[in-house]
Amino acid sequence: MPGETQNIAAMAEKASKEIFDVFGWRHVGPKNKNWGCVEQEKHDRRRARTHSSDVVFRYEDPWSGKDVYVTSDLKSYAKGTVAQHPVASTLRNLSRAVECANKSEEFQTLYVDFNRQHHVMGMLFIYNHDGGYDEDFSKALEGVQPSQSDVAENNRLGVVGPKRVAYLHTVAKDILIAQGKKGELGPDVQCEFYYPNLQTIRFAKTTSSVANLETLLCPWLVMRYTKPSLGISQTGYFIYYDGHGSSVDEFQYLLDYLFKYQIATDHVKIAIRMVFAVPDAPALFEKAKGNYSEDYWPIANVSPEQVRQRMANISFQTVTSLVPTFSEVELGMK
């Protein structure tokens, strides 16, 4: 199907350029490539003896320090038709592909740098080609049982559904615009994603140019920037938050994350940037700042003035959602 092949290639190119490049992912090896299954009996591959990779991305995982290869399955469909698509079987095919990719010499020869420690993950990228996204997809996804997706031990898959595609595309564009000549941060800025060490978990890197797959699926993404200002480098953060901001509690909770991991310190500007914010979100955010200050100040080893100043440095900003156009045709699930 040469037409579909071309469309997949074009969609992969656009998705790479407009989303994943910004998050530090690089596509490697051939696109839309079939390679041999190494678990034919287990994967019931008597007829089709291969797995396919529409595109393979590589990044250095800030959590583990290993190279991660993401074998991706790119889909495009029209709004309202996702329920007709066999999401479970698509996921099962992908999880089997990931299981083999971690063992297959052919896959490794095509895509992997043998000199570095590595691991293969899977990504199902599903895009609504007629604009927007619909909620049917989330329901279809929740209905998939672990036995149906059949993810092998130590492997994992990420599903970037239509809403997430729109969200990540908007975030990526926002980062690029902010770094543009007329952007908020300007071209001299240095931006990195920030991974504060946790109580029991130490990451390989706490700052990285990479936002890994798990981070792209989690509720907020912390981007730290450093820009020279009158010879002194100034640090600040963009927190991209995927919530709706419809309650004071959700903002209070996010504020404690910022204080707990010492992101909110003196003289550091933090912008909470939201794509899906409800109209009341700015007012609720201000209320949350007040509530949190009351809760935080008595237990923190800082003066009320410091708390007030830190809070004044945290702002709420909305980011206009963009509708991406990666493909204009149906690239159905197999």
Partner 1 sequence: MSKFVQHASYYLDDKDLSDLCKAQNIAPRFLLRFARRRGLFLSDKSSKDELVQGLCMAPISWDDVSVLAEAINTEERDTKQMTTQLTDGVDFDGVPAALERVKSALEANREIPTLTKTGDNKYKLEVRFVEMQPQRTRPLQRVERQVTIEVERVGGRLDIRYSGHEHAKQIVRNLVKEIPARKEKEKAERQVSLWSIRDPLARVKFFTEMINGMNGFILSDVTDLHVDRRFPEEEGDADEESVKQEKEKLVGLVKHAILKGDSLLNSEFYVELQAAGYYIGNIVWIANETGTDQRQVEFYAGFKDPILATDFLFDVRRIAKRDESGNYGKLERLQLGDRESLLKLVEAAAYRALERIDAPSDEAKGQSA
The type of residue at 309 is Q
SS3 272: strand
Shortest Cβ 3–partner 1 spacing (Å): 29
Shortest Cβ 159–partner 1 spacing (Å): 4
**Would you tell me which residues interact with partner 1 (CB under 8 A)?**
63, 91, 95, 141-142, 144, 146-147, 149, 151-161, 164, 198-201, 214-215, 217-220, 243, 247-250, 252-257, 260, 291-292, 295-296
259/241 Cα distance (integer angstroms)? 16
SS3 222: strand
- Kindly state the DSSP code that residue 151 receives in the 8-state scheme: P
SS3 104: coil
With respect to partner 1, which residue has the nearer C-beta, 179 or 258?
258
Shortest Cβ 5–partner 1 spacing (Å): 26
CB 119, CB 66: distance < 8 Å: yes
> Measuring CA to CA, which residue among 167, 162, 109, 104 is closest to residue 135?
162
- Count of C-beta atoms within a 10 Å radius of residue 80: 11
With respect to partner 1, which residue has the nearer C-beta, 32 or 291?
291
Shortest Cβ 1–partner 1 spacing (Å): 27
Rg of the chain taking only CA atoms, in angstroms: 22
Tokens of 220: 């907020």
With respect to partner 1, which residue has the nearer C-beta, 158 or 236?
158
Shortest Cβ 202–partner 1 spacing (Å): 11
With respect to partner 1, which residue has the nearer C-beta, 1 or 201?
201
Tokens of 288: 């949350």
- Kindly state the DSSP code that residue 152 receives in the 8-state scheme: P
With respect to partner 1, which residue has the nearer C-beta, 29 or 55?
55
With respect to partner 1, which residue has the nearer C-beta, 260 or 267?
260
For 85, half-sphere exposure in the C-beta direction (CA atoms, 13 angstrom radius) is 25
Shortest Cβ 290–partner 1 spacing (Å): 11
